[in-house]
Amino acid sequence: MEKLKETLRRIDGHGYKSYKQLKGSYNFANHILLIDHVQGDPFASPSKLRIRVQQNRAGFDKSLFSNHSRLTALEDYICRQFSLAIKKISGGIRGTGKSGLIYIDAGGQEILERTAVYVDEEFVEARFYVGLPARGRTVMGRQCEKILTVDIPEIAASSLFYRSLDPEEILDFINISEDQDILRKQLKERKLVSFIRNGSILPRRSGISDSPLLSSETIRFRSPAELEVTMDTLHSGSITGMGIPEGITLIIGGGFHGKSTLLSSIERGIYNHIPGDGREYVVTLNKAVKIRAEEGRSIQKVNISPFITNLPMNKDTVKFSTANASGSTSQAANIIEALECRAEFLLLDEDTSATNFLIRDEIMQKTVPKEKEPITPFIDCVKNIYREFGTSSILVMGGSGDYFEVADTVIMMDNYLPILITEKAKQIINSRKDIRKIESPGYFGKLTERIPVPESIDPYRGKRIKVKSRGTVKISFGNLDIDLTAVEQIVDKSQVNAISGIILYGLRKGYIDGHNTLMEILDNIFKDIDKNGLEIISEHSDGHPGSYAIPRKFEVACAINRLRSLKVIQL
């Protein structure tokens, strides 16, 4: 520490590049400070630092991280505490550019496996970012000394030591997260696709806030008696709520009665949520995929023929490719690509779907004969998908009762509360005089695997790799952008960072070799991640890998499939 102070005092007032001398390791009384990467300019990306505390000082008992579920929750919790300490202690921007910024990659409402904090039996490590302060491009040594030798040690002292934290809060955070994993594992054996605990708070505060609506302003969820199930947890005992069975489920109801709110909670149930979120005990199958129309997306040799055939000008739909998909062709491709990645549960909302893809009613069938209509609507395929692949579907519908005919379960939302009306829906559909004709051949068909061509996944811009994530919606990849706006189950920008890293890792390891299918590539990469941790996707060439959060295979596949240069070999 004294050496660090001496260096900072010596370079005070020098040019900004003098900060490069700080790179290295420094022993403090209770921790080690590691400066891995020093920015070259006050406006550049902040410097990368780590604080490491030996476990005999940190004091986190092994029972708090005795399995992967508990480890993920503990690391997430410590990261949040480090972030809170920064807000309390840091003085914020102090000088030019990012001067004085201290930042760690903490999460939102979801608990995710991250690389920002590392815990094992030997030590606890926080990986974070600091904007080394400057006036213009001149080193502010005294201010930097305060940040590195006063502020950061204080932040570490209040977040990286068990004695400084609330033991009950830590245990509650970890146990609630572990219970969610336990619940999710029970779904398949109970033949359920999702579970929503009674008393959950599903509505969010606003369109720009994922925090729960204040309890005084909302109606807590309550299951209809017919769908009520009791599930077992390790730490909270038996809990009761609505179990959505496998098969085809409709969510209907009037506008603003909570249909989309329920669907949104179900689609986010693939993640664990923090205590107080309101959705802590809303869990969904891990392999649930939200599907929507996505006009303008690129598609490369996807077999959409189960949905669309006989396009004008003899356009091939077995090896369908386009640089500018329509609503219906994009939604068809999105479903096929999800099934290609072994999706077990599809989620659709009519508000974000192509109407002509979802349904062709009996009036339209009588007006436009089937031989003139290339689309076989989803209503005529959804049962076949479940029968042939075991993939369930849930649909939010407000405008078409035709789906009553194919639904196994019909839930009506009334003032944010669900009512089971399956029997009534069947009676209504059976009393109709005009019945639409089923337009599918009675089967869906085989899935067609695809092999990415490695030369078409080019991260280079000129002679250098240029890959950069931009929030949750875009990746700049070489000379192209990958648009992830419609991939709605990405919840954190650090997942997008990881998607970028995973694609580069697949190229670097030779998994993207022109022989492996897309699914084989993803299986190989995630097997490595499971074995060695998410940080293996980083080359460590410019410091610690502190800004990754785990995505799923589905989201990585979505990114690869949306790369406009992609070429594939269809098997």
What letter represents residue 10's amino acid?
A: R
Report the share of the chain in percent with pLDDT over 70: 100
pLDDT for the residue numbered 521:
98
Residue 375 has pLDDT above 80, yes or no: yes
Task: Tell me what the mean pLDDT of segment 12-38 comes to.
Answer: 96
216-225, 346-355, 482-491 — which is least confidently predicted? 216-225
pLDDT attached to residue 543: 79
Q: Which residue has the tokens 């040019």?
A: 15
**Does the pLDDT at position 512 exceed 70?**
yes
Average pLDDT score over residue span 270-277: 98
| Both structure tokens of 557 | 């596949």
pLDDT at 272 over 70: yes
Q: According to the model, what pLDDT value does residue 310 have? A: 84
Burial class, 281, CB count within 10 angstroms (exposed 0-12 / middle 13-18 / buried 19+): buried
Rounded alpha-carbon distances, angstroms, from residue 309 to 202, 355, 359, 360, 373: 40, 17, 16, 15, 9
- Tens of pLDDT, residue by residue over 91-105, are 877 788 999 999 999
Q: What are the tens digits of pLDDT across the range 103-132?
A: 999 999 999 999 999 999 999 999 999 999
Confidence tier at 209 by pLDDT (50, 70, 90): confident
Per-residue model confidence as pLDDT tens digits over 423-461: 999 999 999 877 889 999 999 999 999 999 999 999 999
- Whether 541 shows a pLDDT value over 70: the answer reads no
What is the chain's Cα-based Rg? 26
Return the minimum-mean-pLDDT range out of 72-76, 89-93, 346-350, 514-518. Answer: 89-93
Report pLDDT for 312.
Answer: 82
Residue 341: is its pLDDT beyond 90?
Answer: yes
* Mean pLDDT on 186-210: 94
Round the average pLDDT of the chain to a whole number and report it: 95
Percent of the chain with pLDDT over 90: 91
Return the closest-CA partner of residue 75 out of 124, 108, 39. 124
Question: In this structure, are residues 194 and 244 in contact, taking their beta carbons and an 8 Å threshold?
Answer: yes
DSSP annotation string for 392-442? EEEEE-SS-GGGGGT-SEEEEEETTEEEE-HHHHHHHHHT-SS-PPP-S-S
Round to whole Å and give the CA distance between 121 and 106: 22
Most distant CA pair in the chain, distance: 90
To which residue do tokens 């017919």 refer? 226
DSSP 8-class letter at 541: T
Strand pairing partners for 483? 474
pLDDT band at 544 (very low <50, low <70, confident <90, very high): confident
| Residue 283 pLDDT greater than 80, yes or no | yes
Query: 135: pLDDT confidence band, cut at 50, 70 and 90?
Result: very high
- Does the structure show a pLDDT above 70 at 196? yes
Q: Which of 553, 503, 534 is nearest to 113 (CA)?
A: 534
pLDDT tens figures, 240-259: 999 999 999 999 999 989 99
Q: Compute the average pLDDT of residues 472-499.
A: 97
CB burial class (10 A; 0-12, 13-18, 19+) of residue 409? buried
Residue 214: pLDDT band (50, 70, 90) is: confident
- Per-residue model confidence (pLDDT) at position 540: 66
236-273 burial: b if 16+ Cβ within 10 Å, else e:
beebebbbbbbbbbbbbbeeebbbbbbbbbbbbbbbbb
pLDDT tens profile 47-80: 999 999 999 999 999 999 999 999 999 999 999 9
CA nearest to 544, candidates 18, 47, 45, 28: 47
Q: How confident is the model at residue 281, as a pLDDT?
A: 98
Provide mean pLDDT across the span 510-514. 98
pLDDT for the residue 91:
80
